[in-house]
């Protein structure tokens, strides 16, 4: 596969504390980890002791245009190591604050899976809030760091998901990452969606042809 010279670079920060027990994310990452122009970084593999290398992580962020936070939802939030990573790496004066402009203009995409079905993540549903609302701290982090927040890629209902749906979501993830890399996503159309994987054909330029 050749990559266009004007392609964006993509950093996937993956956080799953028990990948050996994973059914969904272990499959999803296979669709994206070897794409040219994508750096795949498994945080739990790199830092089993939680000793995050701040300078290395900041250098990685600086080298990439699109930052992906990929993880399962745990207690309506992010896994502990990703929180530790955020607390340590996104320093004042570097990532945010008057002089903190290191991440300005980079795009941020959350890729998440939930055990709960989509119907539970509605105002009237069991969880009383949408997944977009639960991701508000990530959205605000992006805002404070002057990044462009994209609607999340969400795989709901992992407790009952079928094999066919895992494959479909994997292929969709691959298309979206490749299109973000190549700049062929209609960002206005994407930002009008509640989740970026809701209508791939609509947001990828030329996908319907």
Ligand X SMILES: Cc1cc2nc3c(=O)[nH]c(=O)nc-3n(C[C@H](O)[C@H](O)[C@H](O)COP(=O)(O)O)c2cc1C
Closer residue to ligand X, CB minimum distance, 73 or 90? 73
- Whether 139 contacts 125, CB under 8 Å: no
Start-end of H helices in 33-135: 43-46, 54-63, 80-89, 131-134
CB of 131 to ligand X, least distance (A): 9
Closer residue to ligand X, CB minimum distance, 16 or 139? 16
Provide the 8-state DSSP code for 121: S
CB of 16 to ligand X, least distance (A): 6
Distance of alpha carbon 44 from alpha carbon 70, whole angstroms:
12
Closer residue to ligand X, CB minimum distance, 71 or 107? 71
Does 158 contact ligand X by CB under 6 A? yes
Does 25 contact ligand X by CB under 6 A? yes
Does 125 contact ligand X by CB under 6 A? no
Radius of gyration, alpha carbons of the chain: 16
51 membership: H or E segment, kind and range? none
CB of 69 to ligand X, least distance (A): 14
CB proximity list for 154: less than 8 A, separation 6 or greater: 112, 113, 114, 118, 131, 195, 197
Binding residue for ligand X, selected from 8, 47, 54, 74, defined by CB under 6 A: 74
Does 162 contact ligand X by CB under 6 A? no
Binding residue for ligand X, selected from 68, 82, 110, 114, defined by CB under 6 A: 114
Binding residue for ligand X, selected from 7, 65, 83, 115, defined by CB under 6 A: 115
Does 58 contact ligand X by CB under 6 A? no
Nearest to 135 by CA among 119, 115, 121, 117: 121
Binding residue for ligand X, selected from 61, 67, 69, 72, defined by CB under 6 A: 72
Does 116 contact ligand X by CB under 6 A? yes
Q: Hey, what are 104's tokens?
A: 């300005």
Segment lying near ligand X (by CB under 6 A), choices 2-10, 56-64, 90-98, 107-115: 107-115
Does 197 contact ligand X by CB under 6 A? no
Closer residue to ligand X, CB minimum distance, 14 or 96? 14
The 10 Å Cβ neighbour count of residue 47 is 16
CB proximity list for 157: less than 8 A, separation 6 or greater: 114, 115, 116, 117, 118
Instruction: List contacts with ligand X (CB under 6 A).
Output: 16, 22-26, 72-76, 113-116, 158
């Amino acid at each position: 596969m050749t990559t266009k010279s004007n392609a964006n670079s993509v950093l996937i920060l993956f956080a799953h504390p028990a990948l050996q027990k994973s059914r969904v994310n272990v499959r999803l990452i296979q669709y994206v980890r070897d794409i040219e122009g994508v750096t795949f970084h498994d945080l739990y593999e790199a830092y089993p002791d939680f000793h995050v290398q701040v300078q290395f992580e900041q250098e990685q962020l600086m080298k990439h245009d699109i930052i992906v936070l990929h993880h399962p939802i745990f207690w309506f939030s992010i896994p502990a190591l990703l929180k530790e990573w955020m607390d340590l790496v996104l320093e004042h004066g570097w990532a945010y604050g008057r002089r903190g402009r290191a991440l300005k203009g980079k795009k941020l995409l959350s890729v998440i899976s939930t055990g709960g079905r989509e119907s539970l993540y509605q105002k009237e549903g069991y969880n009383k809030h949408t997944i977009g609302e639960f991701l508000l701290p990530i959205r605000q982090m992006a805002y404070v760091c002057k990044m462009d927040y994209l609607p999340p890629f969400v795989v709901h209902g992992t407790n009952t998901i079928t094999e066919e749906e895992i494959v479909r979501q994997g292929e969709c993830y691959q298309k979206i990452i490749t299109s973000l890399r190549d700049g062929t996503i209609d960002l206005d159309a994407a930002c009008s969606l509640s989740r970026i994987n809701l209508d791939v054909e609509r947001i990828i330029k030329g996908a319907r042809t």
